[in-house]
Amino acid sequence: MLDKIENIAPGNDYQKSSGNNAKSGYKRSLNSSYSSVNDSISLSPAILYLSSVNWKLKHLQLDKDKLNIVFTFDNIEFSSSLAIGEILSVEKIDYIVKYPADPPANTNYLTINLTSPIMKNSIDGSHIKSQLLYLTKFCISAINAFGYNSGLLMESIQVQELFAGLEKEIRSEFFYLNKCLINFMEKYLSLKINPEKEMEATKSEIKFKNMQLNKT
Distance of CA 9 to the CA centre of its chain: 22
| Domain coordinates in residue numbering, the chain | 12-214
Q: For the segment 13-59, what is each residue's pLDDT rounded down to a tens digit?
A: 334 444 444 444 444 444 333 333 443 554 488 989 999 999 999 99
Which of 46, 50, 104, 40 has the alpha carbon at shortest distance from 72? Answer: 50
pLDDT tens, position by position, for the chain (216 residues)?
444 444 433 333 334 444 444 444 444 444 333 333 443 554 488 989 999 999 999 999 988 888 999 999 999 999 999 988 888 888 899 999 999 987 666 678 889 999 998 876 654 445 889 999 999 999 998 888 877 766 666 667 777 788 888 988 999 999 999 999 999 988 988 888 876 555 554 466 888 888 887 766
